[in-house]
Structure 1
Amino acid sequence: MTTVTAILPSYSREPSSSVLPPCYSSQPHADEETVAYTPRVANPTPHGLFIREWPQATLVLEGQDEGSRQPTYGRAGRIIGELGVVNPEKVAKVTVKLNGQMSLSVADSGSVGFTLVAQTSVLWKHQLLEHVNRHDGSAVEQRCPSVLPIQFQFPSFYQAEGKDWRLPPSFEGTFLGIPAMFIRCIYTLEVTITRTRTYHLASWTTNKTYITMLNFRPRTRPQRPIVLLGSVLGSIKLVPEEWLQVVTTMLVRPKSNMKPVNCHLFIPSIQTFALTDTIPFHLQLCSTLQSLQELLPPTSRLLKLPNGDDERKVNDRWEEGGQTIRVTITRQVVVEIAGRRRFRTFLVGMGNMWSVPPIAHQDNNNSRDGVTSWADSKEDGVCLDWQGEVKVWAELTTGGFSASHLLVKV
């Protein structure tokens, strides 16, 4: 019995290499069948086409969502497609360039710019063939094909000031104010067609360049999923290593005769989330009843329940307009130019939260203005608890990243 061993070709990590790995697909071809299949939780790889038509050319890119306005690629993504040329008999040269630029500008500090990607590929160039025509002995001219293949690959890094940086995602931001900030990280695919024009005995060439924007979205996957077993407090007791406790103190004025409020926030310990993740949290405020009454309205049902009121209302979600305590997600954009750091911070997500029993309740035997702390708590150890979830708004399409002179945090 003879054993045949297939030897796979060697591939290079360099984007400029002519030998690229084949394009694999999770869907079987016409001559293939699926033996076993385990569905993935994540979105499947798109298999649609992105088509952009121009007067002299048509660009077709594979692996895109149907109806997408811009082609989207991930980390080290491969641009695979075709370029259809109109009237190819007069074409002298066809080039395609993958271009990436980052420009940063601050009103009081100046501006800087960096080239992120600059890859050029000559798809076709006019030349005379070596063999001679049999009839008249003249050299045979090569004619441009009507369809030309395109292959590019995004690099993983770019160089700036002698250091390697990860390629930043597509990002644009205009922040007015004092000082004004302008940020732009864009990627484009530029198609240049050179044609030969003749008139009587004169001939010349003309160039026409067509540009399409690319959406570069590198993803960073969390190390593990969020572990939530019922409530957050229940998960903390069962799997405490899956939760991170952040403690901070809200100080008071020195002459206020009140004690500070300690804030305990519990979030998943992975601290890396997808833009579509709903992040659970638990919030606890601990201080004296007097301090909490100053933080919350005295009539808040978290501090006082009228006699006969239904305690099940405690778990009702707050109306958004009535919240005095909120858990939000903010984004901070930091730009450093000429040794000066300028930043902007703005809201990108608002959380929903609801109170968790036990709560402060009314005690007719021992009350202060009709409000006391819990029966099992001391005056100096009153705590209020909330559970909730927070998620970034759908219009946010870029996570946090770090680049030269630019830092975006979420």
Structure 2
Amino acid sequence: MSLPPPSYDSFDYPIPDYSSEPRANEERLVYQQIRQSQGSDTRPTGVFVSQEEGITVVINYQEDKTPTPVFGRKSNIEGTLLVDTPESVSEVTVKLTGVIETVSPSTGWLSVNIIDQAHTIFNSGDDMPSQSICPSSLPFSCPIPSTFRYNGQEYLLPPSYYVLLGEQRQAYYAKCTYQFSAEIIKARSRRTAFLGKSRKHNTFVLEYSPRLRPPRPVIELSLLTTIKERPEEWRRFSYQIVPKSGKYHLESLTCQFFLPSVGIFSIRDAIPFHVQIVGSNSGSLAELQSVLRTDKTLLRVHFLRQVAINKNGNKSAVHFPLGEAKLSPVPPVEGALSLPGQGNQQGQKQENMNWEGKIRCELEEKLTPSFNAGIVAITDFIVLELSKSYTGLFKPFNHGHPVRLVSDA
């Protein structure tokens, strides 16, 4: 027995009323504005022009009046090459080079070519061209590779950067530069052929700026308001604050540090955190609480950047401060905080102290995102540290947590 399909001409239930803005009894948890593109190609429409030795290079898809052409990941250097006197030109080549250069007292000087590719866009096939005449205008397209190889390993192509290292910031440095060059070869007359071919160049620096965004937005709410509903947004690190020998009236304390689990942040993001110290109210915790009445700087949370140079296994590293967080005390909670699958200490009768805050990069100058290019690696850390005024009671306490800073939010 076959039945006819149901009729969908009418609905028994009304369609729900949807709104982009929350009502009075609703709360927005995550909001990310999506920019609507105007057409399929959103690249800049300006050009960069460089003129030298009778060669004009026009680079397309650049911002207007840019002093240096800028390219992102998997980009092509596209444009047109103009030759003033093309009659005697026998060959035209465009070339892209990239070099990482480092200098430090422990590793010495190191220069590594990470890109060296040439593209011939015209070749007459004859030292004295007569039949094949070079056009005065030559289009070109030069792809930028995404990776390079060093010591048998493959690395992502690093961004353009230059950083002075050392206490005086003059002792040594690390930099990565990219250059684009157009070369024309002209054949000489028979009378001057013994001088060899005439070569002219137009060379300029370009900026490689690969862009990357985190897989999801950074959580903006505090740990205490989200630990039950969204525990997957947080990661917990647990340490022991150990008293110095001879301080027999003190016992070890447990320090828990909570950071967003995403681990990848924009350079401009304010990264939330939560610190909890757990212990007996009759021992170390009571000692800390009494000292805090006069000295409120028990802990430090700060941003630290490490620039590491590696030359055949010989390593050198320098650290730079990026920012300092302000810790705000919050009232005690019921027992030690925990995340699913990391143990539950809620039943233990221990007192606790809590702080929360946000940390961000405070440098106003342009900051290179984190990267690892083998020769040079830039890594950023959020550091939790016991203030120096408490090292008379407890052993030094300093733990860094690597995070990755990227270009976009």
What TM-score range do you get, normalising by the shorter chain? 0.5 to 0.7
Alignment correspondent of 2:176: 185
> Contact between 1:127 and 1:141, CA under 8 Å: does it hold in 2?
no
Alignment correspondent of 2:403: none
Name stretches of at least 5 consecutive residues in structure 2 with no aligned partner.
1-33, 280-284, 334-347, 381-409
> How do 1:112-191 and structure 2 match up within 5 A?
112-127=110-125, 140-176=130-166, 180-191=171-182
| 1:289 maps to 2:286 | yes
One-letter amino acid of the structure 1 residue matched with residue 275 of structure 2: L
TM-score (norm: length of structure 2): 0.67
**Separation in structure 1 between the aligned mates of residue 290 and residue 60 of structure 2, nearest angstrom:** 61
One-letter amino acid of the structure 2 residue matched with residue 87 of structure 1: T
Deviates more, 1:78-87 or 1:332-341: 332-341
| 1:298 maps to 2:294 | yes
Alignment correspondent of 2:13: none
**Separation in structure 2 between the aligned mates of residue 293 and residue 210 of structure 1, nearest angstrom:** 70
> Contact between 1:329 and 1:392, CA under 8 Å: does it hold in 2?
no
Alignment correspondent of 1:7: none
Q: Aligned to 1:91, which of 82, 89, 114?
A: 89
**Separation in structure 1 between the aligned mates of residue 71 and residue 308 of structure 2, nearest angstrom:** 25
Give the secondary-structure state (helix, strand or coil) at the position aligned to 1:270: coil
> Contact between 2:302 and 2:359, CA under 8 Å: does it hold in 1?
no
> Contact between 1:100 and 1:188, CA under 8 Å: does it hold in 2?
yes
Alignment correspondent of 2:324: 350
Name stretches of at least 5 consecutive residues in structure 1 with no aligned partner.
1-37, 130-138, 301-322, 360-377
Q: Indicate the structure whose relative CO is greater, using CA pairs within 8 Å and at least 6 residues apart.
A: 2
Alignment correspondent of 2:24: none
1:281-316: per-residue Cα shift (whole Å, max 9, x none)?
22334451322444x46165xxxxxxxxxxxxxxxx
**Separation in structure 2 between the aligned mates of residue 93 and residue 65 of structure 1, nearest angstrom:** 31
**Separation in structure 2 between the aligned mates of residue 177 and residue 227 of structure 1, nearest angstrom:** 36
| 1:330 maps to 2:321 | no
> Contact between 1:50 and 1:61, CA under 8 Å: does it hold in 2?
yes
**Residue 117 of structure 1: how far off its partner (Å):** 1.1
Alignment correspondent of 2:230: 239
Deviates more, 1:398-407 or 1:349-358: 349-358
**Separation in structure 2 between the aligned mates of residue 59 and residue 297 of structure 1, nearest angstrom:** 68
Deviates more, 1:218-227 or 1:116-125: 218-227
**Residue 97 of structure 1: how far off its partner (Å):** 0.6
| 1:217 maps to 2:209 | yes
> Contact between 1:275 and 1:392, CA under 8 Å: does it hold in 2?
no
One-letter amino acid of the structure 2 residue matched with residue 175 of structure 1: L
1:26-48: per-residue Cα shift (whole Å, max 9, x none)?
xxxxxxxxxxxx7359xx64333
How many pairs were matched up? 319
**Residue 383 of structure 1: how far off its partner (Å):** 0.5
Structure 1 pair 392–148 and aligned structure 2 pair: CA distance change class (3 A)? farther
One-letter amino acid of the structure 1 residue matched with residue 47 of structure 2: L
**Separation in structure 1 between the aligned mates of residue 324 and residue 149 of structure 2, nearest angstrom:** 37
**Separation in structure 2 between the aligned mates of residue 268 and residue 382 of structure 1, nearest angstrom:** 21
**Residue 379 of structure 1: how far off its partner (Å):** 11
| 1:407 maps to 2:377 | yes
Give the secondary-structure state (helix, strand or coil) at the position aligned to 1:202: helix
| 1:277 maps to 2:269 | yes
The percentage of counterpart residues that share the same residue type is 26
> How do 1:356-371 and structure 2 match up within 5 A?
356-357=330-331
**Separation in structure 2 between the aligned mates of residue 250 and residue 50 of structure 1, nearest angstrom:** 58
